[in-house]
Structure formats: structure tokens, C-alpha cells
Chain A
């Protein structure tokens, strides 16, 4: 990708966003996701219940985070808006950051129908080799605690 645009999503609204770090100065866009804000996605609403809109507090909080970043703001259908932004900037691809929300991956799949998408990893809290049993926290923490603390030394 020579001329990518950056898609910023709601899990990475800070300077540690790996897409912003890898491509400083490239056009970046955040889209207020109409479905999500209406409570019609599992990110904000029970799929088995009626949808209820997310409160203005949450939108305001996101907005204030976003004002500190070099990013254009849109609202509506995320994939459609990101692709329109990419076209307007003559982009040859889209760079974003990995998200935990399955919605991020689903949107990436929509974007990929039109343009190549590169998903950059976020610095992890802890890296665990091979499979971890997530049945209960204690099982996870038995493995993770040692690895996390390996990064600390008293002389820091």
C-alpha cells in the first residue's frame, strides 16, 4: 500500500493506535456507527431484546477523545463511510488496528470487498504462548501473572 487511509475504531482512540503510529499524517477517519448507537448491534444491545439507543454521554466521551486525534469524523454505515473516504482520498488500501469486538472484523470483511485492508496488532498486556484455559480467571492468571511481572524490575 502506497497511499492508504486509516480507519480508526472505538477501541483505539489514543496515540498508541498502531495505524496512526505507522502512518503519521495519512488521512484518518472515524465513523459513529449508526447501528451500534441505536443499540442494534451486540456491542450495545442484547440481540434477543428490543433495541435502545446509547446515551449522549457515551457519544460525548468518544467525541472528546477523537478531538485530540488527527481524524475526520463521520456518522452512518461504517463500511460505506470508510470506503467513501478512501475514494475521496484516492487510497489504495485501508490500515486499521485489531479489535476485540467481532464487529471490527465484520466491518473489515466488508471493506476488503473493495480495497485491501491491513490490520495492525495493538501492544498486548501479556503474551501467552499456546492455548490458555479461560474457564475461570484463576486458571488464566496462574499463567499470565508470571509473564506480566517479567516486565518489571525493582531498578526501573
Chain B
């Protein structure tokens, strides 16, 4: 942790008793003070720093065309701007204008602008739904009743000791940094909801406690998208998908890599294992079943973003 002093912007009015401190000898001193001021808040500071200066540095590094090509990889060139946008250190309009300023061909920036659109879309929905954003927007399409899902986060998940190198890695990063690549959020959410059969609200609340960019708009609606209460089908993935977009990092060190990986199967096998047969969508003779959404599903939805909107991948 860097040791330079942290001094707040000067205030042209006198301080009052009860004002919180605005001057610290170092970031470590800030952490110490915050622990004393907020004793009920667990954990430590994130290595990700808040503030406009940090946000502007990240904004300066945005590469819309590279983003469009490689954002789905965990080590891909995503913007990492979401915490700053969520708290208004940067507005979505400012990010839009910065992208426009370096756009020579519209096509190269369309994907990034589209992802900013997702953020705007979730915000508009939050405004419309209010606190109803915690309730299922639609029925689940998993074939399971809502009551079949556990209410609480399982202890091994909360503690990051599931035994799966990928999931434990994502959980550790969530807890330590408060930020996860969108693809990791999707995989972790699908694991919790579909493999562990936990209601999405437990996962959404867990994420909101930790994510620096956490708000019920992007977060809850993306959990609902994975769960299938805000999409036509549940989202799930398999090992091939995770291994590809994580460059095999986790599988190489996973004790279950050779045997016992719950994701190591075809989509057909996983679908049969995770979901119950669905009743026909329409009564009156149709026996069509809704197709479920997989990481290689059809191309009717968009792709992952830094704004916690999940998707399927080919």
C-alpha cells in the first residue's frame, strides 16, 4: 500500500464537530481510521482506488476496437470503469463523449457504446421497478419451483472453499478487490444458482456487499438473467467455455481437473442434469419446449461487458 499522504480537497467553510476526517498520513492510515469508524464493515481496502484521477487514467487507456474483439477473455482489454460510473466519479455521458472523441470509424466503437447502453438500460429499469427489483420479474424457466432453491449462501461458497479452482479464484478476487470481470460474474452466478440451486437473491446480496460497482440495477437484473427470471432461458456454461476464456489458468491448477469437475460435460448432458423438464409454454396442444440458453447458444443476445450483464457465448 502506497505511503503518500491523502489530503482532501480544501473546504472553504469551517469544520463542525462530528465531521469525518479528510486528511490521512497514508492509505494504510485511511484504512485504520475507516475500521474504527465503521467497525461492522468486514474486510480491508481494495487495491482499486477510488476517485476521479484514477477514473481519468483508466478512461485514457480505453481502446474501443480492442475491447470489441477481446473483452470476453478474463485478461481482455475491458475498461474497469464500472465502479467509477456507478458512483458518478465519471458519468456515462462523459464516457460516451470520450469514446466518441477517439472514434474514427463508427463500427470500431459500436460494441463499447452498446455496453454503455446496457448500463443506461438497467438504470431505466431500476427507476421503473424500484425496490421490486428484488423480486422475480418472470417465472423461472428451469423447471424447478422457486421453493427448490436454498435461501442462504452455502458456507463453502461464502468462504471460497468449494474445491473448484475457478470458483474459489473468483470468490477470492471478489472478496479482495471488489471487482470481477463480467464473464467471471456470469460463471459464478450460474454455478451458485444452477449447480448449487441457491436463489439468485442470496447471490445478488452477496455481490452487493463486495462489488465496488454494485447497484441493484446491473447486479440484480443480471442475476435474474442468469436465473431465467429475466430472460427466456437460464444461462449456463461448460468447462470448455470457461477454460477458453480464462486461458486455462484455473483448470491447470484445479484438483478436480482430471476427475470430478462438475462443468466437464456437453451442454446436452448439463441441461439434463441441471434442469427439470419444462411444461409446454402454451396450453392447447403445443408440445414445444423452450430451448435453454448456453454459452454456445444462438446469437440473439449481446455479449458480456464490464457492467455485469451476462450473456451466452458461442
**Who on chain B is nearest to A67 by CB?**
B8
Say yes or no: A101-B215 contact (C-beta < 8 A), given A56-B45, A126-B120.
yes
Q: Are B106 and A149 in contact (CB under 8 A)?
A: yes
A152: chain B residues at CB < 8 Å are 100, 103, 106
Q: Are B202 and A70 in contact (CB under 8 A)?
A: no
CB-contacts of A27-68 with B (<8 A): 27, 32, 37-39, 42-49, 52-68
> Complex: how many Å from CA A132 to CA B127?
13
* A149 vs chain B, min Cβ distance (A): 7
Say yes or no: A27-B13 contact (C-beta < 8 A), given A53-B42, A56-B35, A100-B127.
yes
A11: chain B residues at CB < 8 Å are 86-88
Q: Are A56 and B88 in contact (CB under 8 A)?
A: no
> Complex: how many Å from CA A79 to CA B291?
49
* Interface flag for A15 (CB, 8 Å): yes
* B290 vs chain A, min Cβ distance (A): 15
Contact with B9, one of A44, A59, A62, A68 (Cβ below 8 angstroms): A68
Contact with B130, one of A14, A15, A56, A102 (Cβ below 8 angstroms): A102
* A139 vs chain B, min Cβ distance (A): 10
* B309 vs chain A, min Cβ distance (A): 8
Q: Are B114 and A145 in contact (CB under 8 A)?
A: yes
> Complex: how many Å from CA A122 to CA B53?
20
Q: Which of B91-99, B184-192, B239-247, B271-279 contacts A (4 or more CB under 8 A)?
A: B91-99
Contact with B151, one of A49, A68, A132 (Cβ below 8 angstroms): A49
* Interface flag for B252 (CB, 8 Å): no
Q: Are B114 and A57 in contact (CB under 8 A)?
A: no
Q: Are A14 and B126 in contact (CB under 8 A)?
A: no
Q: State the interface size on chain A (CB cutoff 8 A).
A: 71
B261: chain A residues at CB < 8 Å are none
A69: chain B residues at CB < 8 Å are 9
Q: Are A57 and B178 in contact (CB under 8 A)?
A: yes
CB-contacts of A91-124 with B (<8 A): 97, 100-102, 122-124
* Interface flag for B117 (CB, 8 Å): yes
Q: Which of B18-26, B65-73, B163-171, B280-288 contacts A (4 or more CB under 8 A)?
A: B18-26
* A155 vs chain B, min Cβ distance (A): 10
Say yes or no: A62-B50 contact (C-beta < 8 A), given A43-B215, A70-B12.
yes
Q: Are B9 and A70 in contact (CB under 8 A)?
A: yes
Say yes or no: A57-B215 contact (C-beta < 8 A), given A85-B16, A125-B116, A148-B96.
no
Interface size class, chain B: 35 or more
Q: Are B87 and A61 in contact (CB under 8 A)?
A: yes
* Interface flag for B134 (CB, 8 Å): yes
B120: chain A residues at CB < 8 Å are 125-126, 144
Q: Are A61 and B178 in contact (CB under 8 A)?
A: yes
**Who on chain A is nearest to B6 by CB?**
A67
CB-contacts of B285-301 with A (<8 A): 301
* B251 vs chain A, min Cβ distance (A): 28
**Who on chain B is nearest to A12 by CB?**
B88
**Who on chain A is nearest to B20 by CB?**
A73
* B130 vs chain A, min Cβ distance (A): 5
Contact with B49, one of A10, A44, A64, A73 (Cβ below 8 angstroms): A64
B151: chain A residues at CB < 8 Å are 49
Residue pairs across A and B with Cβ atoms less than 8 A apart, 16 shown, are A16-B91, A54-B208, A54-B209, A58-B214, A61-B46, A61-B212, A62-B50, A64-B30, A65-B87, A97-B88, A137-B117, A140-B121, A145-B113, A151-B96, A154-B104, A156-B100
Residues of A within 8 A of B (CB): 10-17, 25, 27, 32, 37-39, 42-49, 52-75, 85, 88-89, 97, 100-102, 122-126, 132, 134, 137, 140-141, 144-145, 148-149, 151-152, 154, 156
7 closest residue pairs by CB, A with B = A64-B50, A73-B20, A12-B88, A61-B50, A57-B178, A60-B45, A57-B46
Known: A72-B15, A137-B302. 14 other contacts (CB 8 A): A11-B88, A14-B52, A53-B209, A57-B43, A57-B177, A57-B178, A59-B41, A66-B50, A73-B19, A75-B38, A100-B127, A137-B121, A141-B114, A152-B106
